[in-house]
Each structure stands twice: as structure tokens, then as C-alpha cells.
Amino acid sequence: MRIGYSFWGFLGSGITDTPDGGRSHRRTLLDGLTARGHDVILLQADRDLAEAGTDLTAHYTWDGGLPEIDALFLEWRWPIPERNTTPCGSEGHTCDLHRQRELLDHYTHHHGVRTVLWDKDQQLPADDPLRAVGHVQVCEPALHPSRGSESLLFPVDDDALDRAHPAALAAHGRVLPLVYIGNQYDRDAAFDLYFAPAAARLPHRVTGKWTDTARWPDVNFTGRIPFADVAPLYEASVTTVLLAPERYARSGQFTQRIFESVLAGCLPLVPATYRGADAVVPRELVVTSGPDVLATVTALARITGSRAHAVLIARCIDGLDRFRLTRQLRTIDRVLNGTPTPLPPTEGNRR
């Protein structure tokens, strides 16, 4: 199948000043689709080349026009004021939203091309008319997606899981008991409850875009880091806490941080309010409060490098099985070739 794929981000390491978490799994998915026999055409701008100076044109095909395709696959973009809602050519403007509208108008609405809408940030309103279009299937990277949506998780390469060696990961020298890698967006409540109390008592580091931090004077915020530095920082840390916006926790949406940390041997602590937490990590790593995080991190720091540490890492690796690339590719094939399951029309989403 010839798939037109739309995303706003990078395939390589990209640039430091960007919130693009898709770098951890996007190339894995595209390579998997190609290996499965699909012809993938990238329909947004080549930011790897234009912004990062990374030339991947020998491996991937970009097309800024409207080529003939059998299916349209969108990593969903939404309005971001002063960025993609401004006029084309104005300062700071990004054209991702305008381009997405062009693709939807041409392929989905005019030509009736089967469309997969991957709502990776859960930004598509529940009453959006697209949900009622028969040849559109909404997917969410959640264990418990919204009604009418399919579960399409962020993929982990099968070989990366199969090659992971728990004993070798446990043997890494880990100088930081606690780390957080990620941005502030909608995470203040979870940070207040789970991370900040433990950070006040333990050596730690927080990287990412955190612009409003005055309320946490005891926290060591160090700013964004290059994508290539993410794995080494996890490798130097005993634990992280998976902080999530409430909508992610409610639906069991685990971001790329779960496999980035586990494959580096950094144990992820998951708040008990996170739906499906104990299906993804060992129960010992499910935490209920800031003091619980402090006690758990302290206990885990004591067993670093031991057989018990390696066993915990192994159990976390086992928990990633549901994120395997092959599982996600089967979902995509079923969605592309099967009958989509959109929400039934209601007064709120009827055209």
C-alpha cells in the first residue's frame, strides 16, 4: 500500500530546542511499515534537512505536493496560538496545521482516501466531525482509548527488546538516584505530588522545558538536553517517575519515556492513578505519594547492581512487550485494510 505519512518533527536527533518526542519511535515505525512492503511518502516539510542539517533523503521520500496514495496517516496536529495559527510567512509561523488541512481537504474529504488519525497528544475534541467520517479511523497511544478509537501504542523495535540484557544494565554505574526527562506541559499537579517531595531529599536532575518553576526552589532544573544525551542520562540514573497529564493517566497513555528509561536500565516509578500501571511495570514500582517515591527510590538505590536490581529491570522489559513494533504494525494493517469503527453520529458531531 502507498501510504502518505504526515508528521511535524524529526527522524534523526533533530535540534535541542524542540518538544518532539516522536524521535524515539517514529523512524522505528516508518522502517517497520517499509519492511512490511508498504511504500511510505512523507508529506510534511523535511525538518531534518532544513533545521538540523541531517540528510536522510537517501532513505526516505518527502513530497510537498499531493501525490497519489492509497492511505493517509496523520500524526495529529492541533492549533497552537502564535505558532501554527498565524499567517504563512509571519515570524515564528510553522505550517504544519495548514498543510494538514490541505491533506485532509484533498485526500480525506475530496477523494475519500482511507485516513488514519493518530491522536498522539489526545487533542482531537470528542465531538470533532472527523470522528464520524466512515473512512477515518482515530487511533490513540493508550491502553484504554476513547470510545470508537483504536489503541496504537508508541512502538519499540523488537530487536531492541530482545537484545536488552538486564544484568548488564544493572551493572551500569548510576550516580543519580532520581531523574526526570521531559517538559512541563500539564504536569504540575503530578510533579507536585510525586516528584518534588522526593527531589527535596535526594540528588536528582530535571531536564526539559520548564518555564514556571518558582514554586519548586529545591528542584534542580537544568533545561533541555540534546536527544542523543537522553539515553546516557537514564543510564546514569537509578529511577525516574512517569509524570503525565491527567488525560494520559486516565486512559493509560504511556509516553516514550517508559521504554527510553527501561532500555537504559532506569527503573520507572508509575503513579497509582495511572490506569494500567501494574500491567506495565512491577507492582513494586507503582507509587502512591511523594513519601512513597522517596522510600522506593531510597530502597532501590541500595540494591543497584545486584541480582534483585537485574530482576526488576527484566520484569520492566517484559512489561514492554505490548509496545512491540510487530504488534503496532498488525494494528495498522488491520485499520488500513479492515472496517474502521468511528463514533456514531450525534448532534455534536453530525456534519
Average pLDDT, the chain: 93
pLDDT at 167 over 80: yes
Residue 180 in 3-state DSSP? strand
| Least confident segment among 18-27, 42-51, 136-145, 276-285 | 18-27
Q: With a cut of 70, say whether residue 342 has pLDDT above it.
A: no
- Burial (CB < 10 A; 0-12, 13-18, 19+), residue 167, is middle
pTM of the model: 0.92
Domain 2-155+326-337 CATH assignment equals 3.40.50: yes
Cα–Cα distance, 331 to 20 (Å, whole number): 23
Is residue 345's pLDDT more than 70?
Answer: no
pLDDT at res. 349: 37
Contact 134, 344 (CB under 8 A): no
Which fold would CATH assign to domain 158-323?
Rossmann fold (3.40.50)
63-72, 77-86, 239-248: range with lowest mean pLDDT? 77-86
Under 8 Å between Cβ of 43 and 63? yes
What confidence score (pLDDT) does residue 339 get? 52
Grid coordinates representing 115?
Answer: 485516513
Q: Is the pLDDT of residue 341 over 80?
A: no
Q: What is the pLDDT of residue 89?
A: 86
pLDDT digits (tens, 9 = 90+) for 174-222: 999 999 999 998 999 999 999 999 999 999 999 999 999 999 999 999 9
In whole angstroms, give the CA distance from residue 195 to residue 242.
Answer: 9
Would you give the DSSP letter of residue 86? Answer: S
DSSP state of 139: E
Q: How far apart are CA 31 and CA 60, in angstroms?
A: 9
| Same topology between domain 2-155+326-337 and domain 158-323 | yes
End-to-end Cα spacing for the chain: 30
Residue 340 has pLDDT above 50, yes or no: no
pLDDT of residue 348: 37
Q: Is 126 helix (H, G, I), strand (E, B) or coil?
A: coil
Host H or E run for residue 6: strand 2-6
Given a cut of 60, whether residue 16 has pLDDT beyond it is: yes
N residues, the chain: 351
Cα–Cα nearest to 108, from 169, 62, 43: 43
Q: Most distant CA pair in the chain: distance in Å?
A: 61
Q: 49 with 56: CB under 8 angstroms? A: yes
DSSP 109: I
pLDDT in tens, 178-188: 999 999 989 99
Residue 107 DSSP code: I
Residue ranges of alpha helices (H) inside the chain are 26-35, 47-52, 96-103, 158-163, 166-170, 188-190, 196-199, 230-235, 246-251, 257-262, 277-280, 290-302, 307-319, 325-337
What is the C-alpha to C-alpha distance for residues 185 and 6, in angstroms, rounded to an integer? 23
The residue ranges of every structural domain in the chain are 2-155+326-337, 158-323
